[in-house]
Amino acid sequence: MALDRRKFLKRSAVTGAGVALAGGAVGAPAAQAAPAATGTGGRPGKRGKRFALTVMGSTDLHGNVFNWDYYKDARYQDAAGNALGLARISSLVKEVRAEKGAGRTMLIDAGDTIQGTPLTYYYAKVDPITAEGGPVHPMARAMNRIGYDAVALGNHEFNYGIELLRRFESQCDFPLLGANAVDATTLRPAFPPYFFKTFHVPGGGRPVKVAVLGLTNPGIAIWDKAYVQGRLKFPGLEEQAALWVPKLRSMGADVVIVSAHSGTSGTSSWSDQLPYVENSAANVARLVPGIDAILVGHAHKEIAELRVVNEESGKEVVLSEPLMWGERLSLFDIELVFEKGRWSVESVSASLRNSKDAEEDPEIVALLQEQHDAVVEYVNQVVGTATVTLTTVEARYKDEPIIDLIAKVQEDVVKAALAGTEYASLPVVAQASPFSRTSQIPAGEVTIRDLSSLYVYDNTLVAKVLTGAQLKDYLEFSAEYYAQVAAGAPVDVNTLTNAGNRPDYAYDYVSGVTYDIDIAQPAGSRIRNLAFEGAPVAADRKFVLAVNNYRANGGSAYPHVASAPEVWAESTEIRTRIAEWVTAKGVLDPKDFASVDWRLTRDGVPVF
């Protein structure tokens, strides 16, 4: 597959070089760099006219405007001393514009804008922007005021459905770019593929034209299948870049920037479910000629500058990924020289600016204070009382009641939904993950923010039918999360988990059955004593798995679940179901939801 895609990319790059879009003049491919000692007259040692510009970039803002933790009802803090939010990004942007000159800068983003905090949830579900006479989305208001030029679509843009995304798009003064988000029938772009900005050069002369190509993540087809299936398709980033970059050059682009909601690792989380790479930004740089720089997103990594040599042109492409949530701002400083009647990129360098070095822009604070205050009031609503404190501190290696709460709610919802159907007699088991290592539901009053901190994603609930054999495979895959530790060897909880770089959200509890995970055994042979109601689980026994939609659609590449029969699904968030369950109970008491379903062992001896 990789070899075939490579051949396709090279073929596309060649055949697309002479294509012009309507209204665009065909021109020679722009050079990446001018010879160091050649001037406009061709005399050695004399340079042509020069122009410098700076492209600023953010990514994975996830609804963070203020340096505020809605889950803790306090200013955001982390061990590294970071600060976050668009209000600080705004201050950094103003600083750069003042330094470089507003006429020499542009501002873009690489996606994941409208999901991730109670602020974005509130304006999607509680006071939705899609309602008649509804509000303007706070992210649109802030980004409009800051003056973004273009924003690439992230996969989380689709979490609330296409209707809300289109409404958000209509509220933005900038385009939402997605060259590889295409109509499922016509295969034509469903969103603008690119954006052009023209820079006028002091003293006259030919302006500099900068093109920004937006690319989103193919995983949308899996993760938000319920919203996009039959409506949109998401081909690979490399293929679409190979199609569009030559067109942008033929339209007169002197500089081509890609804003890609895709990491640099070249890996994917979905096994063989899609023929495309999830984190392919470096592949795009390596395989598609004609690109000067790539703003990277999706991976939540900090990359000040990464240089990748393009295999066809031999030129370096500069990549940068600013840290998520508005904690960093990337700067691409681009030097151009005018020679032989055209602008050529002479050099590109990338760097990062840190939001902790800036104060929140009072203009953005004043603009969104009212919406922020409404969300703070909402998340601090009391919905019940807890008899004991529940935490996730040890939840990644011990069966903790706080995760059992998630599973119990999912079991109850699915059992109620299947009552009276042909599946009502099947036992319901439930999947849940330890998303956070710091979530806590304190004894005493329980608020919406307490429960939201437990379930930080906007996942919804799905019911799938699995056999006993498939369930065991599912658990074996989950158990790969643990490092192998020999019987009798010391156990260090700091190195016990996240084997193979598996993130915490990709580790699943399954409640409703009991089992041991023998970490002395190699991955794939760890599940022992799998039982239901005290009896061994037969390979052909059928179960209904209550599972979140991300996992149900193939997220994290768990076996069987994506192809398993789906017997029920809903659009209400699991987080909301948890709040409803606690509200109905009034009192949050572990005796109503806690169960001992699994344990870590070594040769049958419990680890803890």
| pLDDT value, residue 17 | 34
Q: Which two tokens stand for residue 206?
A: 């030919």
**Percent of the chain at pLDDT above 90?**
88
| 510-530 average pLDDT score | 98
DSSP code at position 79: T
Is pLDDT of 114 > 70? yes
Provide the CA 264 distance to its chain's centre, in angstroms.
Answer: 13
pLDDT band at 35 (very low <50, low <70, confident <90, very high): very low
Residues 6+ apart with CB under 8 A from 22: none
Query: Where are the strands (E) in 512-579, listed by range?
Result: 514-518, 527-532, 535-536, 542-548, 566-573
Is pLDDT of 247 > 50? yes
What is the reported pTM? 0.84
CA separation, residue 564 to residues 100, 407, 414 (Å): 56, 20, 16
Give dist(CA 608, CA 605) in Å, integer.
Answer: 9
Is pLDDT of 39 > 60? no
> pLDDT tens across 125-139, in order?
999 999 999 999 999
> pLDDT tens across 332-358, in order?
999 999 998 999 999 999 999 999 999
> pLDDT tens across 391-401, in order?
999 999 999 99
For residue 66, the number of C-alpha atoms closer than 13 Å in the C-beta half-sphere is 24
Is pLDDT of 74 > 90? yes
**Which residues pair with residue 318 across a beta bridge?**
293, 307
- Residue whose pair of structure tokens reads 């003293």 in the numeric block: 203
| 281-310 average pLDDT score | 98
Q: Which two tokens stand for residue 598?
A: 């699994």
| pLDDT value, residue 270 | 85
Sign of CA dihedral 229, 231, 233, 234: negative
| pLDDT value, residue 47 | 57
Q: Which two tokens stand for residue 420?
A: 């009276």
CA separation, residue 73 to residues 70, 372, 379, 380, 389 (Å): 5, 12, 9, 8, 18
Q: In what order do the strands lie in the sheet with 514-518?
A: 535-536, 527-532, 514-518, 598-602, 605-606
Radius of gyration of the chain (CA): 26
CA separation, residue 469 to residues 137, 195, 522 (Å): 47, 51, 19
For residue 608, the number of C-alpha atoms closer than 13 Å in the C-beta half-sphere is 17
Q: Are 605 and 520 in contact (CB under 8 A)?
A: no
pLDDT band at 141 (very low <50, low <70, confident <90, very high): very high
Q: Which two tokens stand for residue 536?
A: 């061994």
Is pLDDT of 6 > 60? no
Q: What is the mean pLDDT of the chain?
A: 92
| 563-574 average pLDDT score | 92
| pLDDT value, residue 42 | 33
Q: Are 255 and 287 in contact (CB under 8 A)?
A: no
Nearest to 96 by CA among 108, 87, 104: 104
Give dist(CA 299, CA 568) in Å, integer.
Answer: 32
- Residue whose pair of structure tokens reads 């012009």 in the numeric block: 20
